Amino acid sequence: MAMGRMLIALDDFNISNMLRIYFQSNGYEVTVTNNGEDALEMCRQQLPNLILLDVNLPDMDGFDVLLNLKALSDTRRIPVIFFLTEKSSRRDKIHALELGAVECIRRPFDVQELGLRVKNKIGHAFLSSARQPHAPGGEMMIVEDDPDISNMLRVYFKSQGYKVAVAQRGEDALYISRQQPLHMIVLDIMLTDMNGYDVCRELRGNLLTAHVPIVFLTQKDERNDKIHGLEVGADDYITKPFDLEELKLRVQNARRRADLDPLTGLPCSQLVEDQLAYLFFRPRDWALLYISIDDLESFSAVHGPGAREEVLCFTAVKLVQAVSRNAKTTDFVGRVCDDDFIVITDKGLAATLAEDLSRHFDAEVGSHYDWQTRQRGHLLVRDDEGNETKVDLMSLSISVVTADDGPFADIREIIQAAAEARRTSRFSHPLHPSGEASSPCA
């Protein structure tokens, strides 16, 4: 099976041929052209997984090719690594990143380093063309032991709309990553308690953070340092001293590529489908928890969309914390649709996890209501005619599906089984004989 489809659009035949041979020998399907118009047509026809694009092509400027790629719905999500010349200016680099390039490579370049950058870009799931662009900002963690640099980055990225957590030690960073969903991590290598390579390796080995973009920001600028950083799974590697505007654009572009929910930071879309598909290759010891929020619509009608988003983020945090307390670091947490989430864990852990999650959600969800509503124990919802209806405070419905409920032909049947569990008794699953489980929306 091919590693992915690549298009190489460079003006130098010798370099194109060398890269074609290198990437084909590493399992990629490779198409080569030295013409901008041909490159655009090939992209529209073949939809490659990645493009290597030169700044100078015989028939048109590489910036114009990039601009055209990002203007089309079918090609705007294809990651582009932009090749600059030795004489290209800082402005050229910034311009390419502003147009949406994921990397800028200056000649001469290291082929092994380029190969790792390509592998990391293709290896991550990309947003489908149907997805909307990410909202600005998100949850960021800066892992940096220099307080001056970390404070400067915290202030700067807060001004860009991010919510920023700062850690000076690797262990602190790993603890924070287990407590809250993250959209982006900027990571130094030289930390006081452990090196950033080990931090990155642990983050990549944990499915709660396996898909979060990681950008190394470090003084270690030797070739071997960069190679090692990319090998352990970093999305990008930037050396100090650094250009703050360039860092902003590279962080922004890395986040756009990650298939994470823009609100909660949890895996979504294709990453969820991939995890469900993987169940067919696992031993028959898995359980899927399908979680939805009851009475969220009534809450939203009274308190508005902003409060609704706060509840969704709160639920995502409770999920991550419950998995951290009870399950394994290799378990999966994802957002399926508007108010639905899933957890994939071992069958033997499902009951404890569901009960712990429900207990903590029920204990803390009251913070989203006013004092009078908490005292009454229900929400008053008025219709257009002024009539009041009593609505329960929000709670979680959690249905559990295991391999024993199959056999399943495809992932749709797994989701349908979870929906069926909701339509039957709220407490019917055999994992919960005491009748304290619930189920997902149909």
What is the amino acid identity at position 273? Answer: E
- Quote the mean pLDDT of the chain: 86
| Cβ neighbours of residue 117 closer than 8 Å, sequence gap 6 or more | 81, 103, 105, 230
Best CA proximity match to 9, nearest among 27, 36, 30: 36
Quick: pLDDT tens for 107-156: 889 999 999 999 888 765 333 333 334 445 688 999 999 999 999 999 99
Please give the structure tokens belonging to residue 52.
């290597």
Peptide bond into 79 cis (omega under 30): no
- The band of 329, judged by pLDDT with boundaries at 50, 70 and 90, is low
Alpha-carbon span 111 to 17, nearest angstrom: 13
Average pLDDT for 360-384? 91
Give exposure, 266-276, as e/b (b: 16+ Cβ within 10 Å). Answer: bbbbebbeebb
Residue 425 has pLDDT above 60, yes or no: no
Q: Which of 187-196, 325-334, 376-385 holds the top average pLDDT?
A: 187-196
Residue 336 has pLDDT above 90, yes or no: no
- pLDDT for the residue 59: 92
The residue with greater pLDDT, 69 or 262, is 69
- pLDDT for the residue 3: 72
Alpha-carbon span 138 to 263, nearest angstrom: 7
Please give the structure tokens belonging to residue 269.
């879309």
Average pLDDT for 270-294? 87
Please give the structure tokens belonging to residue 173.
């960073």
Radius of gyration of the chain (CA): 24
Alpha-carbon span 149 to 174, nearest angstrom: 20
Quick: pLDDT tens for 216-263: 999 998 999 999 999 998 989 999 999 999 999 999 888 877 768 888
Q: What is the DSSP letter of 61?
A: B
- pLDDT for the residue 126: 38
Average pLDDT for 311-327? 88
Best CA proximity match to 228, nearest among 239, 237, 219: 237
Best CA proximity match to 181, nearest among 148, 124, 140: 140
CA distances from 4 to 31, 32, 153 (A): 11, 14, 35
Q: In sequence order, what E strands does 86-137 have?
A: 103-106
Quick: pLDDT tens for 199-229: 999 998 876 688 889 999 999 989 999 999 9
- pLDDT for the residue 178: 82
Go through the domains of the chain in sequence order and give each one's CATH number: 4-123 (3.40.50.2300), 138-257 (3.40.50.2300), 269-423 (3.30.70.270)
Q: Is the dihedral of CA 428, 430, 435, 437 positive or negative?
A: negative
Q: How many helices (H) and strands (E) does the chain have?
A: 16, 16
Residue 84 has pLDDT above 50, yes or no: yes
